Amino acid sequence: MTWIPRGLRDGIVTSRYPRESDGYGPDFRGSIEVSGQSATKSELADVLLACPTGAISLRDDKATLDRGACILCGRCTQLLPAVFQFSPNFEISTRRRSALVVPVMQESDAAIAAVQIELAARVKSLRRSVHIRHVDAGSDGSDEWEIAALTNPVYDVQRLGIYFTASPRHADVLLVSGLGALGMIGPLQHTYEVMPHPKVVIAAGVDAISGGLLHSSYATIAGISSSVPVDVFVPGSPPSPFGLLHGILMAVNLLAPRRADAARTFTARSVDSPESSDS
């Protein structure tokens, strides 16, 4: 009995994301934004050289950043603060690998729509009951902490009808962390094969997308997309729980437009504990 009041102690700490935006602190480094500001050739050359994963390249003499390779080390933000800035924005998952390169190249609307429509049709039958099977394909261990955090009371993915499952036979979504270690390719593919249709694959984190900082190792295939068909890419090193949640909702087409009406006033919910005394 003693635990029941304890569970009520801090009131509701659960985020209302995605229904409403979440006020996760502005200090949080969710992504790096690239502004259209121009820079000199030597400044750009320096920043290209400084990037440890080669995530930065040039397009028409302007810098672009591949978020699928960016480990958020922040060197570019120090060298060229006019062009590269940290941003708390975590809604950076995409359905196409190419769209991770920012500023995003304008592609034909038809191409974007086609990917979106195909994925939406595939996941239509899942509705609001989504089961996720996680597989670690060679992570550094931090990705698992962030994935496990989705079940804590702050993110509480069960409120959205999202559950983690132990059996691939129950799974709709394959959530893969890690760079594609050679030893995990077989188990990963086997897990994918035994999942029932329809199924969706999410590459969680830059390691899973491109191999990240370790992409040139002898023991990896540098990202999982050559062994399983990836539908949604979630950047981050590791991806934050909100970033993961955004990617999962994108994968199962549950990213409904956010409510704009202020009829129910949104009060910012803080996870910081209120003053409480021992009971």
Residues 131-170 that bind other proteins (CB under 8 A): 134-149, 151-154, 164, 166-168
Distance in Å, CB of 161 to other proteins, minimum: 18
- By C-beta, is 136 or 172 nearer to other proteins? 136
Looking at residues 9 to 28 of the shown chain, list those that interact with other proteins (rule: CB under 8 A).
9-10, 13, 24-25, 27-28
Which of 40, 42, 267, 276 forms a contact with other proteins (CB under 8 A)?
A: 276
Segment near other proteins (CB under 8 A); pick from 96-104, 115-123, 182-190, 256-264: 182-190
Residues 250, 132 contacting (CB under 8 angstroms): no
Looking at residues 21 to 60 of the shown chain, list those that interact with other proteins (rule: CB under 8 A).
24-25, 27-29, 52
Could you say whether residue 194 binds other proteins (CB under 8 A)? no
Segment near other proteins (CB under 8 A); pick from 36-44, 103-111, 123-131, 271-279: 271-279
Rounded Cα–Cα distance for residues 123 and 211 (Å): 27
Burial state string for 185-210 with b = 16 or more CB within 10 A and e = fewer than 16: beebeebbeebeeebbbbbbbbbbbb
Distance in Å, CB of 62 to other proteins, minimum: 25
* C-alpha dist (Å) from residue 132 to 18, 181, 243, 245: 18, 21, 16, 12
Looking at residues 65 to 104 of the shown chain, list those that interact with other proteins (rule: CB under 8 A).
71-74, 86
The residue to which tokens 């009406």 are assigned: 261
Number of residues engaging other proteins in binding (CB under 8 A):
73
Distance in Å, CB of 75 to other proteins, minimum: 8
- By C-beta, is 89 or 142 nearer to other proteins? 142
Looking at residues 202 to 221 of the shown chain, list those that interact with other proteins (rule: CB under 8 A).
212-214, 216-221
The residue to which tokens 């080669």 are assigned: 54
Rounded Cα–Cα distance for residues 131 and 14 (Å): 20
Rounded Cα–Cα distance for residues 175 and 245 (Å): 11
Distance in Å, CB of 70 to other proteins, minimum: 12
Pair of tokens at residue 22: 């979440």
What's the 3-state SS for 178-227? Answer: CCCEHHHHHHHHHHHHHCCCCCEEEEECHHHHHCHHHCCCCCECCCCCCC
